[in-house]
């Protein structure tokens, strides 16, 4: 399995911690079929999310390419819901909109890294 450096820093705001915890919870509750290649991939992603929440993921941390992509996809999806689709009003839910914007920026950075690895 190809490993790549995570490459970016994340500011651990309440939004970031809450949403990554939500990624972990959803992953734990999701069936393997239709969501993951196999049980091993699911467990590796759960471990990555747990390490992220424990501040063990640094820019130099090597991450399996498939796990990197799962995280990138989760970030982009959350950014779409909380920022791009205008589901929340900045005046009423500023933390959510700003968090979604932050995830949007980070997902773009991670996508560049991911695409470079495919070339």
Q: Which residue has the higher pLDDT, 59 or 1?
A: 59
Domain ranges of the chain: 3-118
E-state strands within 10-119 = 62-64
DSSP 8-state assignment for residue 63: E
pLDDT of the residue at 34: 86
Q: Which helix (H) or strand (E) holds 79?
A: helix 65-79
pLDDT of the residue at 88: 86
The fraction of the chain above a pLDDT of 90, given in percent, is: 86
User: What is the C-alpha to C-alpha distance for residues 23 and 15, in angstroms, rounded to an integer?
Assistant: 12
User: What is the C-alpha to C-alpha distance for residues 102 and 17, in angstroms, rounded to an integer?
Assistant: 13
pTM, whole model, 2 decimals? 0.93
Quick: pLDDT tens for 32-53: 998 899 999 999 999 999 999 9
User: What is the C-alpha to C-alpha distance for residues 119 and 116, in angstroms, rounded to an integer?
Assistant: 5
């Amino acid at each position: 399995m190809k490993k790549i450096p995570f490459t970016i820093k994340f500011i651990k705001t309440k939004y970031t911690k809450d949403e990554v915890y939500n990624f972990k919870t959803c992953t734990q509750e999701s069936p393997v079929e239709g969501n993951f290649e196999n049980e091993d991939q699911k467990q590796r992603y759960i471990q990555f999310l747990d390490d992220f929440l424990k501040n063990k993921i640094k820019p130099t941390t090597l991450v399996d390419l498939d796990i990197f992509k799962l995280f990138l996809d989760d970030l982009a999806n959350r950014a779409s819901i909380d920022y791009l689709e205008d589901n929340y009003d900045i005046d009423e839910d500023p933390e959510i909109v700003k968090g979604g914007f932050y995830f949007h920026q980070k997902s773009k950075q991670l996508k560049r890294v991911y695409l470079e690895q495919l070339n």
